Amino acid sequence: MTRGRIRAKLRQSHLYTFTCFRQGTADAEAPHSFDGPGFSRIVYCNQPQVHSKKPLYYTSNNISTTKYNIITFLPKAIFEQFRRVANLYFLLAAILSLTPVAPFSAVSMIAPLAFVVGLSMAKEALEDWRRFIQDMKVNTRKASIHKGNGVFGFKPWQRIRVGDVVKVEKDQFFPADLLLLSSSYDDGICYVETMNLDGETNLKVKRSLEVTLPLDDDGTFNDFRATIKCEDPNPSLYTFVGNFEYERQVYPLDPSQILLRDSKLRNTAFVYGVVIFTGHDSKVMQNATQSPSKRSRIERKMDQIIYILFTLLVVISLISSIGFAVKTKYQMPDWWYLQPNNTTNLYNPKKPALSGIFHLVTALILYGYLIPISLYVSIEVVKVLQATFINQDIHMYDEETGNTAQARTSNLNEELGQVDTILSDKTGTLTCNQMDFLKCSIAGSAYGSGSSEVELAAAKQMAIDLEEQGNELSNFPMHKNSTGDSWNNTSALGATEIELETVVTSKDEKEHKHVIKGFSFEDIRLMGGNWSKEPNADVIELFLRILAVCHTAIPERNEEIGGFNYEAESPDEGSFLVAAREFGFEFCKRTHTSVHVRERYVSSGQPVEREYQILNLLEFTSKRKRMSVIVRDEDGQIFLLCKGADSIIFDRLAKNGRMYEEATTRHLNEYGESGLRTLALAYKKLEESEYSAWNSEFMKAKTSIGPDRDAMLERVSDAMERELILVGATAVEDKLQKGVPQCIDKLAQAGLKLWVLTGDKMETAINIGFACSLLRQGMKQICITVNPDVQTQDGKEAVKENILMQITNNSQMIKLEKDPHAAFALIIDGKTLEHALADDMKHQFLGLAVDCASVICCRVSPKQKALVTRLVKEGTGKTTLAIGDGANDVGMIQEADIGVGISGVEGMQAVMASDFSIAQFRFLERLLVVHGHWCYKRIAQMICYFFYKNIAFGLTLFYFEAFTGFSGQSVYDDWYMLLFNVILTSLPVISLGVFEQDVSSEVCLQFPALYQQGPRNLFFDWYRIFGWMGNGLYTSLIIFFLNIIIFYDQAFRSAGQTADMSAVGTTMFTCIICAVNCQIALTMSHFTWIQHLFVWGSITTWYIFLLLYGMTSPLFSGTAYQILVEALAPAPMYWCATLLVIVTCNLPYLVHISFQRSFNPMDHHIIQEIKYYRKDVEDQYMWTRERSKARQETKIGFSARVDAKIRQLRGKLQKKQSPTATNVQTPLS
CA distance 317 to 321: 6
> Closer to other proteins at the Cβ: 555 or 862?
862
Nearest Cα to Cα of residue 618 among 95, 18, 1219: 18
In DSSP notation, 201-216 reads: -SEEEEE--GGGTT--
Give me the half-sphere count of Cα atoms (radius 13 Å) on the Cβ side of residue 514: 19
3-state secondary structure 1039-1054: HHHHHHHHCCCCECCC
> Closer to other proteins at the Cβ: 556 or 1060?
1060
CA distance 346 to 324: 11
> Closer to other proteins at the Cβ: 542 or 1167?
1167
- Min CB(686)–other proteins separation in Å: 47
**Of the residues 177, 198, 281, 425, which is catalytic?**
425
Burial of 350 (0-12, 13-18, 19+ CB in 10 A): middle
Q: Phi, psi at residue 317, to the nearest 5°?
A: -65, -40
State which H helix or E strand residue 589 sits in: strand 585-590
> Closer to other proteins at the Cβ: 40 or 331?
331
Nearest Cα to Cα of residue 395 among 1172, 883, 1000: 1000
**Residue 137 CB neighbours (<10 A):** 9
> Closer to other proteins at the Cβ: 197 or 826?
197
CA distance 1218 to 1229: 16
CA distance 330 to 588: 106
Task: Look at strands 638-644 and 677-686 and give their pairing.
Answer: antiparallel
Query: 403, 124 in Cβ contact below 8 A?
Result: no
Q: If you count them, how many residues does the chain have?
A: 1229
- Min CB(563)–other proteins separation in Å: 20
> Closer to other proteins at the Cβ: 341 or 809?
341
Contacts of 127 (CB under 8 A, 6+ apart): none
Q: Phi, psi at residue 1211, to the nearest 5°?
A: -60, -45
> Closer to other proteins at the Cβ: 191 or 1121?
1121
Query: 832, 381 in Cβ contact below 8 A?
Result: no
Strand-pair partners of 724: 653
- Min CB(1193)–other proteins separation in Å: 5
> Closer to other proteins at the Cβ: 794 or 1126?
1126
Is 1163 a known active-site residue?
A: no
- Min CB(38)–other proteins separation in Å: 20
- Min CB(234)–other proteins separation in Å: 13
- Min CB(1004)–other proteins separation in Å: 11
Residue type, 93: A
- Does residue 843 sit in helix, strand or coil? helix
Residue type, 35: D
Contacts of 861 (CB under 8 A, 6+ apart): 759, 830, 888
Sheet containing 189-193: give its strands across: 203-207, 189-193, 264-266
- Min CB(209)–other proteins separation in Å: 27
- Min CB(517)–other proteins separation in Å: 15
> Closer to other proteins at the Cβ: 164 or 961?
961
- Min CB(53)–other proteins separation in Å: 26
> Closer to other proteins at the Cβ: 136 or 314?
136
- Does residue 945 sit in helix, strand or coil? helix
- Does residue 1190 sit in helix, strand or coil? coil
Nearest Cα to Cα of residue 148 among 130, 125, 170, 164: 164
> Closer to other proteins at the Cβ: 75 or 477?
477
In DSSP notation, 867-932 reads: HHHHHHHHHH-SEEEEEE-SGGGHHHHHHSSEEEEE-SSS--HHHHH-SEEESSTTHHHIIIIIII
- Min CB(246)–other proteins separation in Å: 30
> Closer to other proteins at the Cβ: 198 or 420?
198
Q: Phi, psi at residue 1026, to the nearest 5°?
A: -70, -30
- Min CB(953)–other proteins separation in Å: 17
Query: 633, 701 in Cβ contact below 8 A?
Result: no
CA distance 1190 to 853: 19
In DSSP notation, 280-336 reads: GGSHHHHH--PPPP---HHHHHHHHHHHHHHHHHHHHHHHHHHHHHHHHHHTGGG-G
> Closer to other proteins at the Cβ: 639 or 1121?
1121
Quick one: how far is CA 1154 from the chain centroid? 40
Nearest Cα to Cα of residue 693 among 667, 720, 666, 670: 720
Residue type, 140: T
- Min CB(902)–other proteins separation in Å: 12
- Does residue 764 sit in helix, strand or coil? helix
- Min CB(1040)–other proteins separation in Å: 11
DSSP state of 172: P
Catalytic residue numbers read 425
